[in-house]
Copies of this chain bind each other. A is one copy, B any other.
Amino acid sequence: MTVTLADVAARAQVSPATVSRVLNGNYPVAASTRERVLKAVDELDYVLNGPASALAAATSDLVGILVNDIADPFFGIMAGAVQSEIGGPGGRAGGERLAVVCNTGGTPERELTYLTLLQRQRAAAVVLTGGAMEDAAHQAAVAAKLRKLTEAGTRVVLCGRPPAPQTGAIALTFDNRGGGRELTEHLIGLGHRRIGYIAGPEERTTTRHRLEGHRAALAAHGIEEDPRWAVHGRYDRQSGYEATLELLRRDPTLTAVVAANDTVALGACAALRDSGLRIPEDVSVAGFDDLPFSIDAVPALTTVRLPLAEAGARAGRIAMGREEAPIGGIATVRGELMVRGSSGGPRV
């Protein structure tokens, strides 16, 4: 039925061992033999049995990439960058690796299940992207899982996620707090004092850090935050739209709105326009991430650029052992303030 190593061996008149060695290329094989084997492989159209090989060699060429939402470019960009570095087809590395992109939907259970599934597949490495859940029980469970993975020799890299101490995981953390602070300071510098904030889901680290940065900026400038100025929502456009209307209802005198990310900011812009407000003349808007479409918003979005592709690529290289891990296993990746048309001085 299906052709096996043994078939190839028979055809090439060598032992299965020799065929295996030709295919893996980590043992001396005479050139003439090698050619004979390769010819047989070609003629029989032989394809290695991955599971069998993984079992025998106790290694696998699978690399897991966990993302919260694969339809969101924020994750897509990182995942693509990781994949380009792990040496899949077209990658730079030697062996061919299969990237397994897992969509957790941001739910703890699926995150754990995928981690187990990857552990079951004996994945060579795992990259977790995006913010973590703040639920203590879940964090402990994930940490335990990560520890198991690293102990079993799987390299674990966190990309855009807070460090997971005692797990052996390498962390490339985004400086969400610093970026958030810089962004709000920019608005304050423009003269804004009444600034609304549309935060992401409460239980996410990313949400909390960005909000903390925002508040730090307010505090640093002696601005007391009105509790009405902050709303929590999801990381999507509709949430931004609704939250903005809510914000406007609570305090129509706001002169600026900071969104949890660019997608939310787009929703905010739509809500403002639909409310008859001009951007930035009446209300300034700012986002976070600098996703590709942000520059095409009208006016172009002021935001904090996160080097998603670079971070993802680095995470991929570290996962493959092709780049040294940062000292202490933790590196902070900074964002860059991008001032564009959506922010301006407040109306007088």
Contact = CB atoms under 8 A, between A and B. Distances in A.
Contact of A114 (B51, B89, B293): B89
A117 B50 CA distance: 8
Interface string A105-125: 101011001101111111000
A83 B113 CA distance: 14
Contacts of A148: 45
A55 interface: yes
A126 interface: no
Interface stretch (A93-101, A187-195, A198-206): A93-101
A223 interface: no
Interface in A53-84: 53-55, 60, 62, 69-73, 75-77, 79-80, 83-84
B76 A90 contact: no
A20 interface: no
A210 interface: no
A31 interface: no
A76 to B, nearest CB: 4
Interface of A: 2, 45, 47-55, 60, 62, 69-73, 75-77, 79-80, 83-84, 88-90, 96, 98-105, 107, 109-110, 113-114, 116-122, 148, 152, 237, 263, 266-267, 269-270, 273, 292-293, 295-298
